[in-house]
Structures are given as structure tokens and as C-alpha cells.
Structure 1
């Protein structure tokens, strides 16, 4: 089994990146970062600094990318696309020049790459890819990873919706529930694949330790729920008896107000973590109830901050 002494994180300032960094450093793993500037150890604008930071690391995790929680106008769409594809391309070029490259390159991707699915779960081997802007971004992102001219092991982390206290995708849902809109969204039948942020970190470690894993890996809890079930679990966790449903038109209107896209809650994502299951991964939070209980214990009262897109 490979030992993990040194890890490079790209996109360490985001919610998952911060959590990953804290977890690794708590386990006495040295962490270096690549970002747009400021406190990063290397910057995207200086390729040589990226090469220097990568050399000697055991693992590089690329989480860089502009948030998709925004309106998909041309400017935002271009930023979403380039912030993923161009950083991945640059990382590939830098890794090809790195004297002592990491043994694994884990690059973020998304479970949204699969089609809207209500009929069956999508695993890595038989899942069908979808259509539309989000899918086009995900496909280009993964293509850039596989085309990169470096012989090291590569894994595309097809993450479902990441839940955790203090950020990520959970705050808007908690706010809606606390405001009394904790009912189903749309018809409520769309599948909601999710994963606790701690299991994201644990799955990255698992992939690092299992050297036979490469290619796409679905990062999703093994027990998905419908949107209706998810909102019911949320009401229970927050001690709310009832919640008004939000029909499609209200979601479209609300999405415009907070400058995001209704697709983020209306698309049916049914992501099956087959590779993780087949290689013996055990989720700490396999059910939504277990995840929400942990999250709500660490969540303050009142309305929570939500980043506007």
C-alpha cells in the first residue's frame, strides 16, 4: 500500500478543498496548494511554479473550477468551462514536465455527466451520458484529463451533490425548510444522489490506496432518495412538521432571484458508486438520515449565508 506523505490540492479555497486540506493536515500529511494567487504555493499563471510544487508529491487533487450555482449566461458559462478545462490542461502539461510526479492525479468531475435518470442507476461501466451545457462541460473536463500527456494514474471523481455543515449545497435547502418551503421541489420524483463531504475525502484516500482504480469513479452515497424523500428527511432533521411544495414555475422564479439555475434541483441524478463498492469502500454516512443528523447538529439556527451566483 502506498503511503501518503505529501499532497497538492488545486482549488483549495473552495468548500471541498478546505475540508480536504483540514482532514489531511490533521493526519499529518503535508499539503501544498495551486491557485489563482494570494496564499497559494504556486499560481496558474506561472507554470514553472506548478511544476516545482508538484515534484515529490504523492498525490495531486484538482478541484479547481468556478461554482455552477449561477445563471448560465455566456460570461458565466465561459468561466465555468475555462476554469475547469484550462486548469486541467495546464496541470497535464506541468505533470509531463515534473521530475518526480505524483503517483495519482485525482481530478474533479461531476455525476451530472449522466443523463436525467428515473429508470435506473448510472454506474461507471453502463451509465449513459446526458446532453446539455452541464454535460458538455463535464465531458470536456474528463477529455482533457484523459488526453493529458503524462503517464501517471488518473481518476475522474464524478461527484454527486456534496453535503456538509457550513457550506456546499445544503444551506439553500436548510433555508427553504426553515422558511416553510420544505416540501417537494417540482414533482418530487427526481432522484437525488448525494454524498457527505467526509466521505468525499475518505473516497479520495481509498482511490489513492487502491492502485488498480483508474478512470471515472462515482462519488455518491449508496442510498439515493427522491427529492420528495430528501425534503421529508430535511424537515425531520430540522424538526419541521410541514413544508409547502415548490412547483417548477416557483423554482424557476426563485432561481432567477438568487441567480442560479433550477436544473440544479430539477434534474434527476441517480449515481451508483459501483467502483467504490466493488473495491470494498465503506461509507461513514451511507444514508441521508445519518448525514443530515450530523450536519444539523453542527448548523447554527436562523437563515444561513448562501453565495449568489
Structure 2
């Protein structure tokens, strides 16, 4: 199988490309710079996309980092455009192909649901109203050209990917290793986790399962509160995890991202993923955390 992956240098994309290549599949890495090694193809997310002839599947994960910089007006526009415009360009290019790929897997996130408190969320629930929810809603809509052209299109709503290799969780680990971690805000907000291994396996599952299309939540079946996550992380690392970070301090340090990202509550379950026959290697939050910290 020949699979094109955008965002192949990111945490998820790199792991996915490694997994596919390890099983003998050909991976075309779409990169936003000049190609430097075999298998890479330089591409402009706002321009034409070439070199996709003969591709069986496209996995689109590219986008500006959500939590890496403070959200100025300019950076919010970059977050939005890098996802929505980039996805629309790629979906339109795929739709115009004489022999398009059989499946287009387009990234999204559980931020789609906004802050939903304690309500359990499935793919049938509507979008929220905050900035991240609007980004995710329009991001998913931008894949419509591919779906309209008859390409099976899967919109993966990913939760917090737990890995020591990077991402938001990877940035938290050093503090917890030093015994400086603790609940964020009141700690009552729900976080929906998934291990990096299960994230990759789930993406490969939706590629290989013809019955799967539309939105699919990529989270483990055990959403828990931030307080429970930090307590489990402390136990896994044999470190105290009792130093809370007050909500006002987070909002001062992180601005709008604190409210719509860190402090938002999203109690998401993988209804469609489980119904399609997927089996989690790490089905509960303690398994998810242990697999990321077992070397410590």
C-alpha cells in the first residue's frame, strides 16, 4: 500500500510513518519545505499538490501547533488557515484526480465539542462555540470536496495523545518527574486520553476498514478528570502530584488557550471506533499513562 502522510514530522505523523514503513508499506511524506531525503515530497498547503499518483490512502495531519505559542490574533489566524485552507486545498486536489485514493483520513480534535462539562460526548454531539470548536468544525468541513467526489473520508477527532516523545503530555512530564506537577485549575475538567500506540493503530484501522467514514473519536474508552490524570501520573512516576496550578495563573500565562484548551472539559468516548471492531492496547487512563512512563 502507498500512503501519503502530511504532518509527517510531528508526533503522530512520524509514528504513523514509522509504523507503516515497518510493515513494508510505501510512505510518501508531504513536507512544507524542500525534500531532503527519499520518500519526502515538498508541498504547499495553499497550492497545488503533486506526486500523489498511485497513492492508496492520504492521511492529513498538518497544522500549526495549538499550545506552542500565545494566541495573538495573528497566530489564531495561522492556526485556522493552516488547518482549514490546507485541508480544502488537499481535498480539492484529491477530488480532481482521475484515480483518487480510496480513503482520505483528515485530522481534527476533540476540541470540536467545546467545553461540555460532565456530559458524555459521542460523534453524534454537535460542535461547541469557542475558537477551537469553530476551527475543528470548519477543518472537518474543508474535507468535504473529497467526500463529495466519492472518496471515503474519515475525520479523526483526536484527544490528548500521551507519549514521552513529545506533544502536550511530553512537555508536562519533566515537571512531574521533578515532583512539581499537579491538577490544573480546579482539576474537575474531563480529559480524553489516548496512547500514541493506539492513536497510530486507530488511524491504520480506519484506513483498512471500508465501513468507517465521517467523524471518529480517537480517545481511549476511559475519560477521566484532570485531577485523576495528574494523580495517576504522580503514582506512575513515584512523585508527588499535589501542587495545583490555579486557573487564574493559567489564564494569565496562556491567555485564551487556557480556557478553551487546558481548562475545557471534554468527556469523549470512542463510540464509532469501538463499533467498527477496534481493540485498544491501552483501554483505560492508567494503562495509557503507564505505557508513557514505564522507562522512568
Q: TM-score, normalised by structure 2?
A: 0.92
> In 1, are the aligned partners of 2:219 and 2:270 still within 8 Å (CA)?
yes
Q: How many residues end up aligned between the 2 structures? A: 290
- Of 166-175 and 265-274, more deviation after overlay is shown by 166-175
Secondary structure, counterpart of 1:7 in structure 2: strand
Identify if the C-alpha distance between structure 1 residues 98 and 230 changes in structure 2 by more than 3 Å, giving closer, same or farther: same
Matching residue of 1:33 = 29
Q: Is the 8 Å Cα contact of residues 58 and 104 (structure 1) preserved in structure 2?
A: yes
Matches within 5 A, 1:252-263: 252-255=251-254, 261-263=258-260
Q: Residues 53-96 of structure 1: CA distance to partner in whole angstroms, max 9, x if unpaired? A: 22211110000100111222111011101101111111122112
Q: Mean alpha-carbon deviation: is it higher for 179-188 or for 277-286?
A: 179-188
| Alpha-carbon spacing, 1:298–1:94, altered in 2? closer, same or farther (3 Å) | farther
**1:191 aligned onto 2:190:** yes
Point out where structure 2 has 5 or more consecutive residues left out of the alignment: none
CA 129–45 in structure 1, closer or farther in 2 if over 3 Å, else same: closer
Say if 2:46 and 2:85, in contact at 8 Å, map to a contact too. Answer: no
Q: Secondary structure at the match of 2:180?
A: coil
CA distance in 1, matches of 2:248, 2:221: 31
Which residue of 283, 286, 290 maps to 1:289?
A: 286
2:130 pairs, out of 114, 129, 132, with: 132
SS at match of 2:20: helix
Pairing 1:12-27 to 2, within 5 Å after superposition = 12-27=8-23
Q: Distance in 2 between matches of 1:42 and 1:97?
A: 20
Match runs of 1:40-79 below 5 Å: 40-44=40-44, 50-51=49-50, 53-69=51-67, 70-79=69-78
CA contact (8 A) 2:45 2:86 kept: no
Matches within 5 A, 1:227-246: 227-246=226-245
RMSD, matched Cα: 1.9
Alpha-carbon distance between aligned partners in 2 of 1:286 and 1:188, rounded to the nearest angstrom: 22
Give the gaps of 5 or more residues in structure 1. 300-309
